[in-house]
Every structure is written in structure tokens, then in C-alpha cells.
Structure 1
Amino acid sequence: MFLKIDSILSLLVLVFVLGSCSEYQKVLKNEEVKPKYDLAQKFYDEGDYKRSNRLFEQIAPKYVGKPQGERVMFFLADTYFQRKDYNMAGYQFERFVKSYPKSEKIAQASFLGAKCYYKLSPEYSLDQTDTDKALAKLQSFINTYPDSEYFPEANQMAKQLTTKKERKAYEIAKQFNKLGKFDLSFLVPAIEAFDNFITDYPGSIYKEPALFYKFESTTEYGLNSTERLKPERLKKAKLAYDQLKKQFPDTKFAEDAAKLLEKIDEDLQGQRQADAK
């Protein structure tokens, strides 16, 4: 009995699907715009974004300059977004914003356009062009629509992207620091990179390690300098230590920092004794 009911239900679903496909193919080939509009809306409401997208693509040019054009262009953009085609969705949302600046959906379109670039933002280790675009779009949205329902999400996404850029800058500086252990010529770009990072991202979650590794790079650079240049460079290293301790008195790098400071003091003490002879 249950098998028969299951078979009947399966058959009904199959008939429905085939009928839907047949209707879709018929309307797709039809030159009339209204049936395509109605079916595109129906598919959209049902969550069938693939077929809805295909139909909206066909009719969008026909609605340019017409009252329904605004609605068609928005849904076309959103079907791309729902299908995770973020490149096309971003492009279409930008077109919508430019074409309908007074639309009731302008804030939503601006937000979704920015979110497309957020979705396209790659891992921190890769090129961050799309991250920069996303941040610019999100910041523009945040500044323009501070009362929007999408504001909290936009703010959160902007923070995540900023942290991603911070990590990339931090990892680049840290890589120079690592290479400096084998080739002293990398210590100068390491120190410069950490300085730039600290200046560009003063509130970063990576600030504490950046300050420590800057101190480490500065110390190694000073200790491995010529006797003539050592005093000045080691003084700079001590300033880097002071900077770390001032901003993070209870730093987790306290033990390692103390060992480096001890090396500096021993070297300076040795120089003073040599000069006194």
C-alpha cells in the first residue's frame, strides 16, 4: 500500500517537473515579453534562480526606460547573486545603483553589490585587489546608509576584510624577519615593513607580535653591524624594546624580549670596556 502511494507521488512529481520544463521551454522560445516576466517572477519566488535568471536576462533589454525596468534589473542582479555568480551580480548591482539612484531598493542593491566583492575577496596570501574594492564599497555604504538594516553586517564584513589585509601586511614583514636569520640583507626591509604595519594598522590584533618582531629584527641588525655602526643601531633596538613594553607591559613575548635586551646590554657593555682601555 505504502509502495503504491510512493509510486503515485513520484509519478505526480515527475509530471509536474516535466510540465514545468515544457512550460519553461515554450515561454523561453516565445517572443512575447509578458509571459517571460510572469514566469521569471514565479521561478524567482520558488527559488529557481537558474531559470529565473535566464528569463530575466532575455527581457531586461526590453524593459529599459519602462516602469518595470527597475524591478527587472534588481531581480536580474539578485538571481546572479543567489547563484553565487558574484562577478556578474556585482556588475549588475552597480548598473542598478547608477540607473535607479532614487529606488526604494537602492540601499539593498548597494549593500549586495559590496557583498559581491566581499565574497570574491581571496585568501590573505593572494592578491587583495578585490578586497580593496570590497572595502571601498562597504565603506561607501556604511557612510551613506548608517541607519540601514544592513549596516551591522556591512560593518562586520569591513572589519573582517581589514583584518585580512592586516594579516597579509604582517605576514610579509614576518617573512622578511625569518629570511633575515639566514641573510642579513632582509633585516632592513623587515624593519621597514614592521614600521609601516604599525603606522598603517595601529589598532591591529597583530600589533603586539609586530612590535616584538620589529625589536628582534632591529636587534639582529644591530648586533651584526660593524663596530662603528653598532652603538647607534643597538640604541634603536632598545627604543624598539621600549615601544613594545610601553604599549604591552605584560607582553607574552616578555621572556624572549628580555633575552634580546640582555644581548644588547652585553654588547654595549663590551664596547664601553674596549673604549676605556
Structure 2
Amino acid sequence: MFFNLRRIFPFLFFIVLLGSCSEYQKVLKGTDVKSKYDLAEKFYNEGEYAKSNRLFEQIAPKYIGKPQGERVLFFFADTYFKSHDYNMAGYQFERFLKSYPKSDKAVEAAYLGAKSYYELSPRYSLDQTDTDKALQKLQLFINTYPDSEYLEDANRMAKELTTKKEKKAFEIAKQYNSLGEFDYTILPSAVAALDNFLTDFPGSIYREGALYYKIEATTNIAVNSFENKKPERLKEAKAAYDNLIKYYPNTTYKSKADELLKKINNETQNLSK
């Protein structure tokens, strides 16, 4: 008897599943809006977001201007978010906010919309257009809803994205500096990139590294310059060293920086002979 039940249960489950699928297809192809609404909400609550999405997509235009329209449009946007289709989620949450700016769900929609763009942000080495857009959305949310329960998470995401942009700018400047070891004509671009980084991201966690690599770049420029340009460029290299020590007296780059300082001093002494 027990053996028979074990064989029957999977069969019964298959029958129930088949019936569920048949119901979904029937309602999906039907014209009854209320049936679609009820089934869409049922699937949403059960975590069947793809099926829920297709039903909400069909009925959303039917509920424009109606009391249930607000609820339908929010769920429709959220099914995209929960299905990890963040492009569509961001767009639909924006659409919801334009349609229902005073909704009780406005704060949550603004948060989830901003988070959708956050999820689209690629790794730091790729183009950061989506990161810029996410930062704009997050900053707008933070400014608009400073007392929101989502504020802490929004600040966390904004900080993470800002650090990602900092890392990209820092790595680009480092790359210029590395290439400059083989082609000294690139070194001025390295110095410019480092200066831009230090100006654009004054509180960056990469600031110490940027100050050090500026010593490297300016020192290499100086020692490979024509004699008439060396004095001024050696002063620039020495100033770069002083700047690092001023802000980071116990810098982790101290030994490397001191080696560069010796090179700067030796070149300076040779010039005075």
C-alpha cells in the first residue's frame, strides 16, 4: 500500500501542475480582465513572477484611470524587478511614479526604481554610464525622501557606486603611469589624470595611492627631461613627495617614496655641479 502511494503522489502532483498550467493558458488567452487580475495577483503572491508579469502586462492598459490601476501598475513593475529584468523595472517604476506621485507606494517605488539602476551598474573596468544614472537616481531618492526607511540602504548603494567610479578613474591614471615607463611622452597624461582624480575625489580611499603615483610620474618626467627643464620639474617632483608625506606621514608607500626622493635629490645635486 505504502509503495503504491509513493508511486501515486508524483502522478497526482503532475496532474495538479498540468491543471494549473491549463488554467494559466486559458486565462491568458481569454478576455476576462477580472480573471486575469485575480490570477496575476495569485501568481505574484506565489512567486511566479514571469506568469504574473504576462498577465499584468495584458491588463495594465485596461486599468488606467481606475482605482485598481495604481495597484496593478506597481505589481507590474515589481514583477520585472523580482524577475531581475532591471531595465524594464526601472522604466516601469518611473512610469508608476509619474502616474501616481502621491501613492502610498511612491517611496517604495522610487527606492526600487533607483535600486534597479544600481543593479545595472557594471564592474568598474567597463563603461560607467549606467553607474552615473544609478547615482543620479539614488541621490534624487536620498534628497526627496530623507526620512525613508530605505535611506540607509540607498546611502550604502550610492557609496559603493561612487567607490566604483573612483577605482575606475584611479586605475586609468595608474595605467597611464605604467605605460609611461616605456614611453615618457605619456607621463604628462598620467600626471593630468592623477590631478583630475585628486580634484574630483578628494575623500577617496585611493587618494593616498594617487598622491604616490604622482611622485612616480613627476620624477620620471624630471629625470628624463632636457637639462634646461630639469630644475623646475625636479621641484614639482619634490612637491609631490612633500604632499604625500603631509597628508599621510605614515604612508604605506613610504619606502618607495623615499627611494624616489633620493633620485630627485641626486639629480638636483648633479645639476648644481
TM-score bracket, normalised by the shorter chain, equals over 0.9
Which residue pairs with 2:24 in the alignment? 24
Q: TM-score, normalised by structure 1?
A: 0.97
Which residue pairs with 1:254 in the alignment? 254
Q: 1:24 to 1:173 in 2, by over 3 A?
A: same
Which residue pairs with 2:264 in the alignment? 264
- Percent identity, aligned pairs only, is 65
Instruction: Measure, in 1, the Cα distance between the counterparts of 2:6 and 2:150.
Output: 44
Which residue pairs with 2:131 in the alignment? 131
Instruction: Measure, in 2, the Cα distance between the counterparts of 1:21 and 1:265.
Output: 80
Which residue pairs with 2:180 in the alignment? 180
Instruction: Measure, in 2, the Cα distance between the counterparts of 1:162 and 1:7.
Output: 57
Q: TM-score, normalised by structure 2?
A: 0.98
Instruction: Measure, in 2, the Cα distance between the counterparts of 1:266 and 1:6.
Output: 87
Give secondary structure in 1 for the equivalent of 2:227.
Answer: coil
**Which amino acid counterpart does residue 189 of structure 1 have in structure 2?**
S
**Which amino acid counterpart does residue 73 of structure 1 have in structure 2?**
L
Q: Which runs of 5+ in 1 are unaligned?
A: none
- Following superposition, the deviation at residue 12 of structure 1 comes to 2.2
Give secondary structure in 2 for the equivalent of 1:189.
Answer: helix
Which residue pairs with 2:112 in the alignment? 112
**Which amino acid counterpart does residue 135 of structure 1 have in structure 2?**
L
Computed over aligned residues only, the root mean square deviation of the Cα atoms, in angstroms, reads: 0.9
**Which amino acid counterpart does residue 230 of structure 1 have in structure 2?**
K
- Following superposition, the deviation at residue 149 of structure 1 comes to 1.3
Deviations 1:132-160 (A, max 9, x none): 00000001101111211111111111111
Deviations 1:2-26 (A, max 9, x none): 4433322212211211111111111
**Which amino acid counterpart does residue 262 of structure 2 have in structure 1?**
E
Instruction: Measure, in 2, the Cα distance between the counterparts of 1:14 and 1:110.
Output: 41
Deviations 1:115-136 (A, max 9, x none): 1111111111111000000000
Show the 5 A alignment for 1:1-277: 1-273=1-273
Instruction: Measure, in 1, the Cα distance between the counterparts of 2:3 and 2:121.
Output: 50
Q: Which runs of 5+ in 2 are unaligned?
A: none
Instruction: Measure, in 2, the Cα distance between the counterparts of 1:122 and 1:227.
Output: 46
Instruction: Measure, in 2, the Cα distance between the counterparts of 1:238 and 1:216.
Output: 11
**Which amino acid counterpart does residue 24 of structure 1 have in structure 2?**
Y
Instruction: Measure, in 2, the Cα distance between the counterparts of 1:156 and 1:172.
Output: 25
Give secondary structure in 2 for the equivalent of 1:229.
Answer: helix
Runs (4+) off by over 3 Å? none
Instruction: Measure, in 2, the Cα distance between the counterparts of 1:6 and 1:82.
Output: 35
Give secondary structure in 1 for the equivalent of 2:228.
Answer: coil
